[in-house]
Amino acid sequence: MNPKILPALDEIEAVLKKHDMMGLIIVADSGETNFRMRVEASWSCAKLEVQPESDGRRQVTAVRIRSKQGDFPTESERRECSSATINAFINMQKSCDTMSVNIEVLKEMLKQAGVVMEEEE
């Protein structure tokens, strides 16, 4: 992994944690792109299980959702936490879908302008 990528991901994740937010982080430099997801906000019932890799990356092995009735003092709090969590995931997915469409349009514009692109993986 590029030595600039991991510190950038860590810094951005720290900002999300400081502001008690979930988030999807995508960073790129001229040779590499990587991403990270943070779901452990205080209002979220989601938690990522990760396995560190030797190069500093984190492999997500599971997403756990805490939503049993016994996990919350009241049914209302359980519903509120579950709803906030799923709505955040849905809205992040919608944002990713929008970004994907925008990037496809940008790629087509660059292709029409004669920019040579690497093969997609």
Q: Encode pLDDT of 61-83 as tens digits.
A: 899 999 898 999 999 999 999 99
pTM assigned to the model: 0.82
For residue 118, being part of any structural domain is answered with: no
For residue 117, being part of any structural domain is answered with: no
Q: How many residues does the chain have?
A: 121
Structural domain boundaries, residue 74: 5-112
Give pLDDT, residue 53. Answer: 79
Tally of domains within the chain: 1
For residue 53, being part of any structural domain is answered with: yes
Q: Give yes or no for a contact between 50 and 59, defined as CB atoms under 8 angstroms apart.
A: yes
At a CB cut-off of 8 Å and minimum separation 6, what does 84 contact? 43, 44
The total of other beta-carbon atoms located within 10 Å of residue 24's CB is: 16
